[in-house]
Structures are given as C-alpha cells and as structure tokens.
Structure 1
Amino acid sequence: MQALKSNLTRTILSLLGVTVGIFAIIAVFTLVDSLEKNIKSSFSFLGTNVVTVNRFDFVGGPDYPWWKYFRRPYNTYTEYQFLRDKLRNAEGVAFSAGANSTVQAGSNAYRGTNITGVTFSYQDVYDVSLEAGRYFTEQEVNASRNVAMIGVKVANTLFPNADPLGKELKIKGSKFVVVGLFEEEGEGLLEISSKDEAVMIPYGSFTKLYYVGPNGIEPSIAVKGLDTDIGLVELENELIGLLRAKRGLKPTQEDNFSLNKSEFLMNTIGSIFDVISTAGWVIGGFSILVGGFGIANIMFVSVKERTSIIGIQKSLGAKNYFILFQFLFEAMFLSMIGGIAGIIIVFGMTFIPLGSLELVLSFKNLVLGLGISSVIGIASGIVPATLAARMDPVEAIRAV
C-alpha cells in the first residue's frame, strides 16, 4: 500500500488500462447475457420439450426452399386426433389456430388482439398460468361453448377498474363469457405478442368465426415430449413414422411436413450471441493488453526504486520466494483494484433504465472479471518479480 500511495498519479494511470479493459469485457458479456435472456424469454410461448408440426421450418438459410413448403398440405384436426391416440412418446398433443382481431365490450375495444382457438389438451403441452378464474372444462371445449380466457392488457382495456370474470366480450359479433385471466407477463424486448394481449377460446368456437384450412388460417399441432427422451429423438422418429403413414407417403417420397423444436431457434440465437461475445473478448483484450503493459512498467520502476531495500531484505535472510511473492502480490493487487473499478462501473450501468431490457450483472461475470484481473496481474508482474528475486544482495545494497 505504501508503494502504491507514494506514486498515486502513476498508480492511477496504470490502473486505467485494466479498468477500461475489464469494463469493456464484462460490459459486453453483461449486455449479451441480458439480451439473450430477454430474447429467449420472448420465445417462451414455444414451450420446452415441444415439437410442432408445420409446413415451414423455423430456421431457414440461403437455400431455403420456400416454394416447396408452400405446396405442402395443412395440418388437419383428424391428424391431431390420430397423433393423440397413437403417440406413445408424448406427454400431450394439442391443436390450435390463431388470428388477429378486435375484441369489444360495450364501448371499449382492444385492437390487434391475438385470438387463439385451442383444444382441451393445450394445457398439457404449454404452460397456461392464470391469475384468476379457471381453464376451460372438457365439456366446454367439446361443445364449442363461447367462453374465453383473456390477458391483463385486454382485461384492463375492456373492463377498466372491474373484475373481468363473468363479464361478456364480443369477437366478430359473437358474445363470449370470460372465465379466466392470464398471469401478467410484462413487456418483452421483441415485438412478439404475449398473453397480456391475448384471448383464448375453444377451437370449435374459433372455427365458427374463422376459416381454418387451405387458403385460410394455418393450424398447428404441438407435441410435448417426455423428460426421459433426451433431445426428443424418439418422439421425432415416432412422429415422422405416424405422419407419413397418415398422409400415405411412399418410401421414396420426402416428408411433406416440418418438425420444429424451440431448441432450433434457441441454438440459432445462442450462436449469434457467441459471435458478439467473441467480439467483446477482442475489443476488451486490446485494452487489457495495454493495461498489462502499464502494470509491468510500474513494476519495473518499483523494482528499480527499491533495489537497495531488496538488498537489505536479502542480507537479513529473506528468501528468493519472499521477494518474488512480494512484487507478484503487488502487481496482482494493483490489477485487482483496476478490475474491481471496472466491475463497479458495469454494476452502475445496470441501474440505467433501458425500457424492456433489464441489465443484470451475473455472479459468473463478476468472478470472470476478478479472475481476468488476477491473471493479468500475475502475467504483468512475473518478470519484474523474478528479476528482483534473483538480485545479488551485495550489488543491490550498493545501488543508489
């Protein structure tokens, strides 16, 4: 501490390089982690361990054969029933279709509402968390009753300052009774509709209002796999076999359907952020390198200034490792101070409001920042410390 305080200006200037470097690396990692977490949560509606049967692939590429997918047949309710009865590696099978529309209640209206028609088994595949009310009964779904579950935004707009349960709303002129209120999800980073602005009704009721099928709304079949089926390999193989048999495809014909997993999209998002993280390492690495040179410079100067002290210590019986660790610890301590300063700045950034994006400094990034600081301190101080440890005590005492 005395050595650092005696040349405070030099110490601060040496610290800046490490501070900027650690700040750059940890700030990028914090931003990337927060963005990735927020974006992935925006796709939470895809569910986990869920395979959906669609005409198109979720993830495309430069050679995406969209013209081929357009000619594929739509999913049918009969296929859903067939899979529901035949699948053995599935926890649940659901059939759903959606459309955007305006819902009304008296003089109030909510535009751009995501209306989704679902089967009773929808809750077996996706998480349907309710703040109040209940889920549809099987009788209501089978009889295509006009009942609905609505999101918080829809409820607040249609029924301000009132309990929405038991109230009536209109969809395309048809009256629906509200039986459930979804839990609030909040704003997401991406412009993806959440359950806050959704209305869910039985599938039969949905088909009374909208045409589902070729040249109309495309329905989706969703299948939730078993936890024991790692990678959902068994489920995918079973789905392919059953769908090919149901659609009468010959062995030489290719599949006319796509099986999409939420993991495909998550992996694509993860690979994008891996590239951004690498860029963060490169940017911060140059700053860290400059900071390391600064610390090495100040340590060489410290060794030069304290040569006579080193000689006295060695003449009094100090071992080489004592001198080595003395300067090595000083370099590491200096680097750690700079790293902590950089982390504090990043932590201060997390309090800056960024709309729907919430920055969080994770414990992993905190440890990473301190670890990098320690390594830089050791790497920068090892050479000056080694030179100091190897000094001849007689020659060192004579140094002025």
Structure 2
Amino acid sequence: MRFLRQVLESFRFAWQALRSNLLRTTLSLLGVTVGIFAIIAVFTLVDSLERNIKDSLSFIGDKVVYVQKWPWSFEGEYQWWKYFQRPEPSFKEYKFLADKLENAQAIVAMDFKGRITVKHNNNSMMSLIQGTTFEYNKISEVAVASGRYFTQQEIDVARNVAIIGADVAENLFPAEEPVGKSFKINGMNFTIIGVQEKKGESLVNFGGNPDIKCLIPYGAFSKMFHSINPSIDIAIKGYDDDEGLLELESEIKGLLRTRRGVRPTQDDNFAINRPEAAAQAISGIFAVLTVAGWVIGGFSILIGGFGIANIMFVSVKERTNIIGIQKSLGAKNYFILFQFLFEAVLLSLVGGLAGIALVYLLSFMQLGSLELHLTAGNIILGLGVSSVIGILSGIIPAFSAARLDPVIAIRAK
C-alpha cells in the first residue's frame, strides 16, 4: 500500500513538473507528435486501402479463377506480342468446361459492354451492360434489394430481362418502383426483375461498379453486341477444400490444352487469372508505404526522444536540491526514479496522443471514394510506441537522479 502511494506521489510530482514548464513541455513533445502522426497516418491509410480492396473483392467472390486470353501480369516483362496470338475464349469452350469440370462449384460465361445508353421515357444514362449465365450469383455477390434473381428458363431462352444497379434505378425511375417496369438498352426493351443494393464508390471495382451495371442473360447480350466470333470471360469457382485451387487449375489446364490441341512441349495459349493476385500486388505497394512511414516517423521520433532526454537532464539539474531534501526525508531511490521516469513517459504519451488526434482529424477529410478509419489497433500501437520512447528517453536521467547523494544534492545550487 505504501509502495502504491509513493508511485502515485511520483506521478503527481511528474505532472506538476510538466505543468510548471508548459512552453518547454510543448516544444519537447513536437518531435514525438510528428513521428507518431507519420506512422499512424500511414498505417491508417494502408488499412483503409486494404479494406476498400477487400470490399471490392467481395463482389466477385472467393476462390474464383478467370479463363481469359490476356494474363494479369504484375511482375517481369509483359510479353504482349506472345499473348496477342492466342485465341479468345469462346462460349463453346465454356459449355465444354461446364460439362467436364469436376472440381468446380460453378462456372459462368460473361461479357461486358461499357458506355451503353439505357433509357426510360425522358430519363437516360450511360451504363455498363453485362451478359451472364445462370450461376453468376454463385461466382459474385448479387445483392438484390428488391425483386429477384434470374431463373434458369430466362437464361436458357435469352429473355429480355435485367437486374439493374442502384444508380440506374435512381436515374431512370426517380419517383417509382422499377421492378416490373420496362426500359430500353441500346434501343431494345427489357423488363426489370430486380434492383441491386447500392454499393457506393469504391477505389477498385473488379468487373465494374454494380451501381451503374445492368445484368442481362448472356443470350440477350450476345444478340445485341456479339459479332461472328464473340469472345467471353469464363469465371470458375472452386471448392473450399481445394487449397490454393491447385486441383481446379490443373484440371482447367488439362481440359483446355486437350480441346485446343496444345502439344506437350508448347506453352498454354490461355491465361488463368486470379483476382487476389491483383490484391497481393497492391499489398506489395502497401508494404513499401508502411516501411516509408516507419522510416519517416522513426527519424521524427528519434529526434523527439533526444529532445525528451535532454529536457529530463535539465529537469534533474534544476531539481537536484529538491531531490536531496526528498532523500534526506526518507524517499527511496525508486521514488525518485519513478518521478522522472513518469515525467518522461507522460511527456511522450501527450505527444503521441496529439499525433493520434491529428490522424483522427485527417480521417474526416474526403479522399474520393476512400474512407479513412482510425482503428483501435493503430491507436494502441501509437500509444505503445510513445510509451517505449518515453521509457528509453527518461531511463538514464531517472537513474542519475535516483543515485544522487542526498548531502551533495542538498548543497547543490
């Protein structure tokens, strides 16, 4: 109990010392404030970017691969001249894979057409039109707010029905319920069977922003937009127990190489792309940003730590006489040590809190589609780094104060 009272008394002395020298205290914590701000700001930015990308990926599903002509290459030389000669994936190949694949939960053929005018009465807008087959809702998230998803029959007979995005509904039907109504895509009538939930702006939209998209059966899309040799994307979802989708990828390669007559000595003439590969490539950039934040913030914190240590040595010098009186009255060494150590830690924590407060204010800024979120983990990290800097900066001055001889200290001027 006595020890606890002395610790609290040490904390009170430290607080009084900081209050009595406000200007010096403010100047000495600036380095820590800037350093913590730099580190936590970078961490907050990286966390927010990763969250945004994960939200985007949720709309294209998990454990999905895409069979396409062009690879999504994120390292090395992009051999476009080699990929250019490859054949485009076809609807017949989609049917072939759908019949033969054993390691797939779902398989979808789809194609896109951007900047297509959609119209209802006098209202119109540019939309992204996507034609797809029936299992698209197993591959990608289709969050229908009102209405329903396609039926197998609607897909099979290529009926002119559509599931529209929230922005399309707001622009074409500003004061009425769109479901059941008719609208025009590229001059052709389509009946709305569903409206997707509003997703909002996103930093990355794989497959296009659902808010401005119109989903229609692939057959209806093909009749409107495809030429004699149409090309498509084939999306395939694997099973959860297929670690890394290795079995699925191996099966796809074997089947497609056989169908296309690729010899054993020849390279694949198709690409199997994974959306998470794009996320991993972007994560590599995030890692560089994180290191940069630590370096920039580290220099600032180092300068702040030296500033705090210097202030603590000055404080010990100024209060040498008081230390001597305290020790002559029975104060233990740890009481003196805690007094100065608490002062250094408290000073550093105030600087850290100021840096975190600046990041919190930064999170209210509008950065386009990116929303910044200051997480509890980053707050704890900032306070933890501040505490460590305070301990390291104050430990030597505190030890020197605790080891003063009371007789010599009382006589100091």
TM-score range relative to shorter protein: over 0.9
Residue of structure 2 equivalent to 1:359: 372
Residue-by-residue CA offset, 1:103-162 (whole Å, 9 max, x unaligned): 222232222x11111110111111111010001100111111111111111122222211
Partner AA of 1:209 in structure 2: M
Please, which runs of 5 or more residues in structure 1 have no aligned partner? Answer: none
Partner AA of 2:138 in structure 1: D
Structure 1 position 210 matched with structure 2 position 235: no
Paired residues for 1:55-66 under 5 Å: 55-61=69-75, 63-66=77-80
Residue of structure 1 equivalent to 2:297: 284
CA distance in 2 between partners of 1:356 and 1:60 (Å): 24
Partner AA of 1:297 in structure 2: N
Residue-by-residue CA offset, 1:25-74 (whole Å, 9 max, x unaligned): 21222223223433453455443211111111112445101111111111
Structure 1 position 189 matched with structure 2 position 198: no
Structure 1 position 106 matched with structure 2 position 106: no
Partner AA of 2:141 in structure 1: D
Residue of structure 2 equivalent to 1:226: 239
Residue-by-residue CA offset, 1:344-377 (whole Å, 9 max, x unaligned): 1211222233342211111121111101101110
Structure 1 position 172 matched with structure 2 position 186: yes
Closer/same/farther in 2, CA of residues 20 and 60 from structure 1, 3 Å limit: closer
Structure 1 position 307 matched with structure 2 position 320: yes
Q: Is the 8 A contact 2:53 2:279 kept in 1?
A: no
CA distance in 2 between partners of 1:362 and 1:238 (Å): 42
Partner AA of 1:197 in structure 2: I
How many residues of Structure 1 are paired with residues of Structure 2 in the alignment? Answer: 397
Structure 1 position 2 matched with structure 2 position 1: no
Residue of structure 2 equivalent to 1:198: 213
CA distance in 2 between partners of 1:144 and 1:191 (Å): 27
Q: Is the 8 A contact 1:89 1:226 kept in 2?
A: yes
Of residues 240, 255, 258 in structure 2, which corresponds to 1:245? 258
Q: Is the 8 A contact 2:154 2:217 kept in 1?
A: yes
Q: Is the 8 A contact 2:59 2:142 kept in 1?
A: no
Paired residues for 1:1-400 under 5 Å: 1-42=15-56, 44-61=58-75, 63-100=77-114, 101-111=116-126, 113-189=127-203, 193-211=208-226, 214=229, 216=230, 218-400=231-413
Q: Indicate the larger mover: 270-279 or 306-315.
A: 306-315
CA distance in 1 between partners of 2:140 and 2:53 (Å): 19
Partner AA of 1:230 in structure 2: E
SS in 1 for 2:190: strand
Q: Indicate the larger mover: 324-333 or 143-152.
A: 324-333
Report sequence identity in percent.
Answer: 57
SS in 2 for 1:88: coil
SS in 1 for 2:266: coil
Please, which runs of 5 or more residues in structure 2 have no aligned partner? Answer: 1-14
Q: Indicate the larger mover: 254-263 or 54-63.
A: 54-63
CA distance in 2 between partners of 1:127 and 1:42 (Å): 10
TM-score by length of 1: 0.93
CA distance in 2 between partners of 1:18 and 1:291 (Å): 5
Q: Indicate the larger mover: 48-57 or 227-236.
A: 227-236
Residue-by-residue CA offset, 1:315-335 (whole Å, 9 max, x unaligned): 444443333232212211110
Q: Is the 8 A contact 1:47 1:262 kept in 2?
A: no
SS in 2 for 1:252: coil
CA distance in 1 between partners of 2:96 and 2:232 (Å): 15
CA distance in 2 between partners of 1:254 and 1:133 (Å): 46
SS in 2 for 1:144: coil
CA distance in 1 between partners of 2:227 and 2:134 (Å): 18
**Shift in Å, 1:248:** 2.2
Q: Is the 8 A contact 1:50 1:224 kept in 2?
A: yes
CA distance in 2 between partners of 1:226 and 1:39 (Å): 23
Q: Is the 8 A contact 2:107 2:237 kept in 1?
A: yes
